Structure 1
Amino acid sequence: MNRFALSSILLALLGTAQAAPIDAAKSSVKFVFTQMNVPVEGQFKKFAADIAFDAAKPEAGKVSISVDLAATDAGSSDANQAVQLKEWFNTPAFPRATFTATQFKTVSPGKFQAVGQFGLKGRSANLTVPFTVRAEGNGQWFEGSFPLSRLAWKVGEGEWADVGAVADAVQVKFKLFVPK
């Protein structure tokens, strides 16, 4: 390989955004659902994410998020056990939810959309996730929220498919800190 080709490859690699892991201790992934007309907030206690994003060059961004569904806190010990069952997340068969995106759009200054593949309970589909970015000290905060239809993802099947007890709409909220 000649020097020119090697130099071109190295420059291309240097121009590629390198993903950095989030600081999980500072970050959170939560959800809100309505049960018997009462909003209930829960959270995922274990998750990992790698983010490469520069607001000046959003087209070069990439993100990969994996949520450990067995570490779900749905508000009570009974609910925590129930969400592991086949009718809900079926964690023995599908232990993780994932989101991977390499397409980003600028909506307005500081506001963006990530377009990628969301996977849950053996299914995968395109998902657009709005988010904001702000610098703070030695890193960046990525924050946003998006709605999911639990029934579209077969979360809460059988007797739980009746939206009278648990509403179909679930709001997912995230706050991720990526240190420099």
Structure 2
Amino acid sequence: MNSRFSRFIAMAVILVPGVLPGAHAVEYTDVNATASTISFTYNQMGSRVYGTFGKFEGELDFDTRHPEAARAKLTIELDSIDAGSEDASTELQKPAWFDTASYPVATFESTRFKDLGNNRYRITGNLTLRGLTREVTVPVLLKAENAIGIFDGELVLKRSDFKIGDGEWADTMVSDGINIRFRMVAPQR
């Protein structure tokens, strides 16, 4: 179940950095949370588990002419987790996992954007989860469609880095690596 949370964080990281350069300069400043998604997958007792986060807000200031000056922030409401069943979603909010009573949100704030060419970017930033902050780097692909930028990203987070699933869950019953995917949608400004 920690894998779901890690994936969520990864998605958050990916959503923040999306950029799409085109033939001309384009600016993106708003994230449409309704059209965007954050999902995660992990292994639990040999089975692949899929989940999502339903509530999050993204801030973006990205100009394809100056990607190095871009800024992004993502705030995820952890109690909006959908781990595939009501029991699993409720369990993940408990103190051993996300502890949403003490830590209701996860945040990602970018510190650097690097243009890798071909509409690909590498976004580095600080991810805060359960009161712990770790630097993460997320590769992002920007696709432009009908005056909309779609920032797709994916990363693998270790739940142990954020003490998610301590105690009986700290063993290999739930994979330490959580695959997080995000798709952030932002209209051109």
State the partner residue of 1:126: 135
Cα offset for 1:134?
A: 1.3
Question: 1:125 Cα deviation (Å)?
Answer: 1.5
Tell which structure's C-alpha radius of gyration is larger: 1
CA deviation after TM superposition for structure 1 residue 37, in Å: 1.2
Contact 2:28–2:186 at 8 Å: present in 1 too? no
Corresponding position of 1:166: 174
2:91 is matched with which residue? 82
Q: Percent identity?
A: 35
TM-score calculated relative to the size of structure 1: 0.86
Structure 2 unaligned regions, length at least 5: 1-26
Alignment of 1:100-115 (within 5 A): 100-115=109-124
TM-score when scaled to structure 2? 0.82
Deviation at 1:56, TM superposition (A): 3.0
CA contact (8 A) 1:19 1:62 kept: no
Amino acid at match of 1:166: V
Find the partner of 1:68 among 71, 77, 90.
77
Ranges in structure 1 where 5+ consecutive residues have no aligned partner: 1-17
- Tell me how far apart the structure 2 counterparts of residues 151 and 21 of structure 1 sit (CA, whole Å): 32
Residue 19 of structure 1: CA displacement? 6.8
**Contact 1:114–1:129, Cα closer than 8 Å, also in 2:** yes
* Pairs within 5 Å for 1:5-154: 20-154=29-163
Counterpart of 1:71, as a letter, is S
Aligned-residue CA RMSD (Å): 1.5
Which deviates more from structure 2 when the two are superposed, residues 102-111 or residues 71-80?
102-111
TM superposition outliers: structure 1 runs of 4+ over 4 Å: none
CA contact (8 A) 1:100 1:117 kept: yes
State the shift of 1:42 in Å.
0.3
Give the stretch that moved more between structures: 40-49 or 20-29: 20-29
